[in-house]
Chains A and B, each alone.
Chain A
Amino acid sequence: RKEVEQDPGPFNVPEGATVAFNCTYSNSASQSFFWYRQDCRKEPKLLMSVYSSGNEDGRFTAQLNRASQYISLLIRDSKLSDSATYLCVVPPGGSWGKLQFGAGTQVVVTP
C-alpha cells in the first residue's frame, strides 16, 4: 500500500460547481498535512496546510479525519483557473522536512 493515495481523476467540473476529493494516508503518526497545486509542467505550489481538523481559505476547504486517516479538499464555485493537479502531501511522523506526495488528483474545470 502506498503511503499517500489519491484518486487520479480527472474530475470534470462545470464552472461554478463544487468538487471534492479525498486523500488517504497510511502513517498514523503524521501530524501535518498539505495540499499542493501543480499546473502542467510547473512546480508544486502550496495551496493549504491542515494541522487540526480542517482549514478554510476562500473557496477552498480542507478537512482532516484522523480516525479514518484521510484528508479531503473541497473547491466551491470552481473557476477555470482551478484546473490543475492537486497533490496531497503528508510528512511522515517523526521525520523532519521530508514530504511524501500522493500521485495527484486532476481537476478540469469546463466552461
Chain B
Amino acid sequence: EAGVTQFPSHSVIEKGQTVTLRCDPISGHDNLYWYRRVMGKEIKFLLHFVKESKQDESGMPNNRFLAERTGGTYSTLKVQPAELEDSGVYFCASSPYGSRTTDTQYFGPGTRLTVL
C-alpha cells in the first residue's frame, strides 16, 4: 500500500513568489492534515480536512496560506506571497475516517520550503 506522498520534496523560492505544495494521502483516508516545522521549533498543526471539508483550520498562520482538497482526494497548500518566515518543512498526514482523536496519523516525507 502506498504511503502519503508529497510534492515537491524541496522548493526554493524568492520572497514574494507563490508556491503550491501537494499532498496525496493514503487511498481511502478521509482525514488529511497539514503540519509545519519551522527551524528549531516543534511541528505545528496547520489544518485538518475531512474529505473535502475543512474541519479545523485554527493553525493557519494568516491569509497568505490557502489549502484546498477538491473532491476529497489530494490536497494543495498554496503560499502567496511567500515570506522569509514561511521557510520550513511542511508535512502532510492522513488517517482513516473516525471520530476519535486517537486514530494513527501517517505522515508524508515532507516538503522542505526555503524562501530567500
Chain A residues in the interface with B (C-beta under 8 A): 2, 4, 31-32, 42-46, 49, 51, 87, 91, 95-104
List, in ascending order, chain B residues with CB within 8 A of A44's CB. 43, 91, 107
Contact A101 B44 (CB under 8 A): yes
- Nearest B residue to A90 by beta-carbon distance? B101
Not counting A96-B99, A98-B56, a sample of 6 additional A-B residue pairs whose C-beta atoms are within 8 angstroms of each other reads A31-B102, A45-B107, A46-B104, A97-B105, A99-B33, A103-B42
What is the number of contacts between chain A and chain B, taking CB atoms within 8 Å? 64
Nearest neighbor of A87 in chain B, beta-carbon distance: B43
Chain B residues bordering chain A, tally (CB within 8 A): 27
The 8 Å CB contact of A51, one of B99, B102, B108, is B102
Q: Give 23 pairs: A residue, B residue, CB < 8 Å, sorted on A.
A: A32-B100, A42-B109, A46-B105, A91-B102, A95-B101, A96-B48, A96-B55, A96-B56, A96-B99, A97-B33, A97-B48, A97-B55, A97-B101, A97-B103, A97-B105, A98-B33, A98-B48, A98-B56, A99-B33, A99-B105, A101-B42, A101-B44, A102-B42
User: Which of these, B45, B95, B103, B110, contacts A43 with CB under 8 Å?
Assistant: B110
The answer to whether B87 has its CB under 8 Å from any CB of chain A is no
Closest partner residue, chain B, to A6 (CB atom): B42
